[in-house]
């Protein structure tokens, strides 16, 4: 394993372009996964916010998967050796929706790579910018934060408590993240990371107490909670993962609205804040 002094500067500015026809099938599969029986999806329908994550998927050959299930590093992403990989957060702006059944393009650029070493060990932060185009028009701007960490001590199982009452006027939902949901989301995103479906690997190799809920899954569920209650389009959205969630107990989603601004959070079984997010709605 290399140390935190390894220079990955040659990866900054690296670009990758991915085309996708935005077929109908992934949207229908996502709707089934999220129990959305009310939205009608067909060719020409707009993709809901964050559902672009079910397209433009990496298709590394099986022989090029690493032991953890991720594609081997050193192509577009730098070959950072730390085994714990997390999609830690993102900021995005929606200019116009992507439309099902029409070709689209994603242009990705590595904006920055930062390394640091602290009490928790060595970490590397990779910032990746994604721009999504359809019919020559910019539809979505997104900047992702990918974090790589050294192996650390085993993660303790959270102790479930009774959550505090939600604020007046807030919307909430209790989510039970069972292995079926995690498997379906892994399939939707063509994600072979074993911490989400391989319990012996997640607990024995990476030290988690159970299967890990995907950070993007939590973000999508927060957005779906907002989409259920708000008719106005979302113009900006950001989220930050603060703690892992597991398939061992339900977690709670909470959304509050104030003058076109949404504040969202995912609360772990022990009451800790697992993810915070915010959204700005389009003008009424």
pLDDT at 1: 39
pLDDT (tens digit per residue) in 213-269: 999 999 999 999 999 998 899 999 999 999 999 999 999 999 999 888 999 999 999
Confidence of residue 118 (pLDDT cuts 50, 70, 90): low
pLDDT at 134 over 80: yes
Quick one: pLDDT at residue 158? Answer: 84
- Of these ranges, 7-16, 17-26, 72-81, 157-166, the one predicted with the greatest mean pLDDT is 17-26
Examine the pLDDT at 132 and tell me if it is beyond 80. yes
pLDDT value for 86: 86
CB-CB contact of 209 with 248 (8 Å) = yes
Task: Give the least confident one: 39-43, 70-74, 153-157, 161-165.
Answer: 70-74
The verdict on pTM exceeding 0.85 is: yes
State the chain's mean pLDDT as an integer: 92
CATH code: domain 1-152 is 3.10.129.10
Domain ranges of the chain: 1-152, 153-284
- Same fold for the domain at 1-152 and the one at 153-284? yes
pLDDT digits (tens, 9 = 90+) for 151-193: 878 888 888 889 999 988 899 999 999 999 999 999 999 999 9
Per the listing, tokens 């070709």 go with 103
Q: What is the CATH superfamily name and number for domain 153-284?
A: Hotdog Thioesterase (3.10.129.10)
């Amino acid at each position: 394993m290399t140390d935190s002094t390894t220079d990955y500067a040659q990866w900054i500015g690296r670009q990758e372009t991915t085309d996708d026809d935005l077929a109908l099938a992934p949207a229908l599969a996502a709707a089934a996964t999220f129990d959305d029986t009310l939205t009608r999806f067909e060719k020409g329908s707009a993709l809901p916010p964050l559902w672009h994550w079910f397209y433009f998927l990496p298709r590394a050959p099986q022989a090029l998967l690493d032991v953890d299930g991720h594609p081997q590093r050193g192509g577009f992403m730098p070959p950072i050796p730390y085994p714990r990989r997390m999609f830690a957060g993102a900021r995005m702006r929606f200019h116009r929706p992507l439309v099902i059944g029409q070709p689209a393009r994603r242009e990705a650029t590595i904006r920055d790579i930062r390394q640091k070493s602290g009490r928790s060990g060595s970490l590397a932060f990779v910032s990746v910018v994604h721009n999504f185009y359809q019919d020559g028009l910019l539809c979505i701007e997104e900047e992702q934060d990918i974090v790589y960490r050294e192996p650390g001590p085993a993660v303790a199982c959270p102790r479930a408590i009774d959550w505090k009452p939600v604020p007046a006027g807030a919307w909430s939902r209790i989510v039970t993240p069972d292995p079926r949901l995690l498997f379906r989301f892994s399939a939707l995103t063509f994600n072979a990371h074993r911490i989400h479906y391989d319990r012996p690997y997640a607990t024995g190799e990476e030290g988690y107490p159970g299967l890990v809920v995907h950070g993007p899954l939590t973000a999508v569920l927060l957005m779906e909670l907002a989409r259920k209650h708000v008719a106005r389009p979302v113009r900006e959205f950001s989220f930050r993962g603060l703690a892992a969630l597991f398939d061992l107990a339900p977690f709670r989603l909470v959304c509050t609205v104030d003058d076109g601004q949404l504040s969202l959070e995912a609360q772990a079984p022990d009451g800790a804040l697992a993810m915070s997010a915010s959204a700005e709605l389009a003008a009424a």
